[in-house]
Amino acid sequence: MNPHSHARPGIRRLTPYQPGKPVEELERELGIEGSIKLASNENPLGASPRVADAITRALTEVERYPDGGGVVLRRAIGERLGVKDDTITLGNGSNDVLDLIARVFAGPGDEIVFSQHSFAVYPIATQAVGADAVVTPAVEFGHDLVAMAKAVTARTRIVFVANPNNPTGTWNTRDEIRALLESVSEEVIVVIDEAYAEYVEDERYPDTLAWLGEFPNLVVTRTFSKIYGLASLRIGYSISSPEIADLINRVRHPFNVNSLAQQAALAALEDEEFVAASRRANSDGMTQLESGFRDLGLQWIPSVGNFLTVDVGRDAGPVYDALLHKGVIVRPVANYGLPNHLRISIGLAEENDRCLTALREVLV
Ligand SMILES: *Cc1c(COP(=O)(O)O)cnc(C)c1O
């Protein structure tokens, strides 16, 4: 029996998401140590100190199943965001929720629209349910929401918009997102993936949650992986109408979010000072990297996330390798259609400095 020939066509065509290798593994392979990882948009400050305490307390009950409804956490998130808790669906990372949304609303013969250079999970979620991806061309590396609205057909079930987008760091304004929602039929689910929302300081960034009552097809996703620094625990969520939340809940694994993650998220949510400090550090690091790139004569894509995607002016593969040998781990983005770019997560000041020095040495 050849399992490959039995797999569903979408799965057969699927290129798996390529996570970065663990640091220890890379160091062993290359025979180096003390390397820095600026490859996965993690928070260089770690997580709030309250998180460790919350997890330690939760450790006394590891034998118990988690709260499958995430009651306390959903209430806390709801209060923080000013939405009712029946609009919130918890996921094992927001990737989980994106996947569930695809499973609920799309299948073979349906179309899912997203942009060129957009987050890798959208094509995976699309192919996994056997739907067809409709990919609109990017403009200046960012989403062209007018083109995305035009790409919607009678077969379209979902539009995925990453705002800001990963790996480009580009974003869309309130007016652009609203225009998309106004021009797309209510029959089409519009997912606005706001994994980096807490980093964005521009006044033109939309408050999409305020529009939930107006657009019953709107789903917003957020995560604890980025500014809250809980990437390893896997916890994210969506905010939608209670009707959509109910549908997602039907396919959600009842215990998809473990207790340690729930307790950690509760603690992280309370520490607003940590979030503010993370935002400041990110903004400083962004300035530092940008000025370093400028000195090196490099172009980068303006970003509002916690990473910068820089054009190294040549095939980025060998540059990535050379940086790796200097113990600086960044992210090649050729698989996103950006063969000359590298995505660099903003680190601590000394990490950014080391990355810039390594880049300088490698690019001579
Ligand atoms: C990191 C990221 C996510 C969040 O993933 P989690 O599963 O919550 O860790 C979602 N969308 C985008 C665009 C991202 O970059």
Dump pLDDT digits (tens) for 108-159.
999 999 999 999 999 999 999 999 999 999 999 999 999 999 999 999 999 9
When pLDDT is cut at 50, 70 and 90, the band that residue 272 belongs to is very high
SS3 of the chain: helix, strand, coil, percent, to 5 = 45, 15, 40
Query: Does the beta carbon of 166 sit less than 6 angstroms from any atom of ligand 1?
Result: yes
Q: Is CATH 3.90.1150.10 what the domain over 20-46+273-362 is classified as, yes or no? A: yes
Would you list the domain boundaries of the chain? 20-46+273-362, 49-270
> Residue 347: what pLDDT?
98
Dump pLDDT digits (tens) for 37-83.
999 999 999 999 999 999 999 999 999 999 999 999 999 999 999 99
pTM: 0.97
Assess contact for 288 and 354: CB atoms under 8 A.
no
Residue located via tokens 């304004």 = 173
Whether the pLDDT of residue 21 is over 80: the answer is no
Query: Does the beta carbon of 217 sit less than 6 angstroms from any atom of ligand 1?
Result: no
Residue nearest to atom 14 of ligand 1 (CA): 195
Beta-bridge partner residues of 220: 192, 239
Assess contact for 121 and 127: CB atoms under 8 A.
no
Average pLDDT of the residues in 9-27 = 84
Dump pLDDT digits (tens) for 295-329.
999 999 999 999 999 999 999 999 999 999 999 99
Dump pLDDT digits (tens) for 161-194.
999 999 999 999 999 999 999 999 999 999 999 9
For the four alpha carbons of 204, 152, 214 and 100, in that order, the dihedral sign comes to negative
Residue nearest to atom 11 of ligand 1 (CA): 195
Query: Does the beta carbon of 99 sit less than 6 angstroms from any atom of ligand 1?
Result: no
Rounded Cα–Cα distance for residues 316 and 331 (Å): 10
Centre of ligand 1 to C-alpha 95, Å, is 6
Q: What is the mean pLDDT of the chain?
A: 97
- For ligand 1, what atom is nearest to the CA of residue 167? 15
> Residue 22: what pLDDT?
85
Centre of ligand 1 to C-alpha 220, Å, is 12
Rounded Cα–Cα distance for residues 363 and 312 (Å): 8
Alpha-carbon distance values, 349 to 33, 254, 342, 352 (Å): 20, 41, 19, 5
- For ligand 1, what atom is nearest to the CA of residue 231? 9
Residue nearest to atom 6 of ligand 1 (CA): 93
Q: Which amino acid is at 316?
A: A
Centre of ligand 1 to C-alpha 85, Å, is 22
Class of domain 49-270 (CATH, top level): alpha beta
